[in-house]
């Protein structure tokens, strides 16, 4: 058994032991491929492994290729799966970033991209698909919120059949996100909670995490851009305390900015910081 295998096995055993005694398992920190500057590129997997991350979140790409998202390609999907097995680094989630161009809140093209993304996510044997609402596609009022809930209700049966969770990430409150979940009438629609986005929007992150609880959060983004973690406005020790307190067992993905030419160094710096903090909570 090599060192990496030993660490992974120890982490699994520790997780099993703590869960058995009612204590939340350890944090698992992944990274987004777009912050690695390797969106829709399988090389994100070996790089994430090299930097010490435990998983990687994969985006499908925005520039269409023959009318399809770049990752809607069996050969490319096979390369991701092969790399994930080779480097023993899970793909913990996906992202339909094409919604930055055709948003689900109103664009008639959006449901197709989500449907295609559910199929690709299933083909990659991944459980969480991030469905973003930002920029001109952000949810701005109750009418748009209800429209999104109805759109997700139409897509939910497909997600349920595929065993995929649709994780909505946006700039609205935890309460409004739950209203969307309830309108969708599906347990396959959950909140993809982003600490940075919610802080910028003026919400009480600690209160929202505790109120949502582990059953309504499918995955978490950690960031305080443009700052390094721990050097901006967000106090991450209370954030980690809240995540641990609710018994969340999913992945926490770093979506942190990096300086040009210093992607590896900056991401590794943020990972080392959050790991050190997690060991002290």
Three-state secondary-structure class, residue 159:
helix
Contact residues for 281 (Cβ-Cβ < 8 A; gap 6+)? 237, 240, 241, 244
> Which is nearest to 217 in space by CA: 21, 85, 33, 24?
24
Helix/strand/coil for 214: coil
pLDDT in tens, 194-251: 999 999 999 999 999 999 999 999 999 999 999 999 999 999 999 999 999 999 999 9
Average pLDDT for 86-103: 98
3-state DSSP assignment of residue 218: strand
What is the reported pLDDT for 281?
A: 66
Tokens found for residue 22: 């009612």
Q: How far is it, in rounded angstroms, from Cα 271 to Cα 252?
A: 11
Pick from 103, 169, 172, 107: which is nearest to 132 by CA? 169
What is the reported pLDDT for 46? 98
Q: Predicted confidence band at 20 (pLDDT cuts at 50, 70, 90)?
A: very low
pLDDT of 10 reads 47
Is a pLDDT exceeding 70 seen at residue 100? yes
The Cα 40–Cα 65 span in angstroms is: 12
The superfamily CATH assigns to domain 3-280 is Divalent-metal-dependent TIM barrel enzymes (3.20.20.150)
Question: Residues 229, 270: contact at Cβ < 8 Å?
Answer: yes
Record the tokens describing residue 140, joined without a space. 């701005």
d(CA 105, CA 157) in angstroms, rounded, equals 19
Distance CA 42, CA 82 (A): 9
Task: Write out pLDDT tens, residues 130-187.
Answer: 999 999 999 999 999 999 999 999 999 999 999 999 999 999 999 999 999 999 999 9
């Amino acid at each position: 058994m090599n060192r990496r295998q030993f660490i992974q096995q120890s982490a699994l055993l520790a997780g099993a032991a703590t869960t058995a005694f009612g204590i939340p398992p350890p944090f698992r920190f992944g990274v987004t491929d777009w912050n690695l500057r390797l969106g829709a590129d399988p090389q994100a997997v070996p790089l994430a492994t090299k930097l010490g991350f435990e998983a990687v979140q994969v985006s499908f790409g925005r520039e269409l290729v023959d009318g399809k998202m770049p990752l809607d390609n069996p050969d490319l999907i096979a390369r991701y799966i092969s790399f994930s097995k080779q480097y023993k680094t899970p793909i913990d989630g996906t992202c339909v970033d094409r919604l930055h161009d055709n948003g689900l809140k109103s664009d008639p093209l959006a449901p197709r991209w989500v449907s295609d993304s559910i199929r690709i996510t299933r083909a990659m044997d991944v459980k969480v698909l991030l469905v973003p609402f930002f920029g001109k596609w952000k949810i701005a009022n109750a009418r748009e919120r209800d429209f999104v809930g109805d759109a997700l209700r139409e897509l939910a049966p497909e997600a349920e059949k595929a065993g995929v969770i649709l994780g909505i990430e946006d700039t609205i409150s935890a309460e409004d996100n739950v209203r969307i979940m309830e309108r969708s009438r599906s347990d396959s629609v959950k909140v993809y909670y982003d600490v940075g986005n919610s802080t910028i929007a003026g919400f009480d992150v600690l209160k929202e995490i505790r109120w949502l609880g582990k059953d309504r959060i499918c995955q978490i983004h950690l960031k305080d851009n443009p700052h390094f973690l721990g050097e901006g406005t967000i106090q991450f020790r209370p954030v980690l305390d809240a995540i641990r307190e609710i018994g969340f067992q999913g992945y926490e993905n770093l979506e942190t900015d990096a300086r040009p030419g210093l992607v590896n160094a900056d991401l590794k710096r943020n990972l080392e910081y959050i790991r050190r903090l997690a060991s002290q909570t």
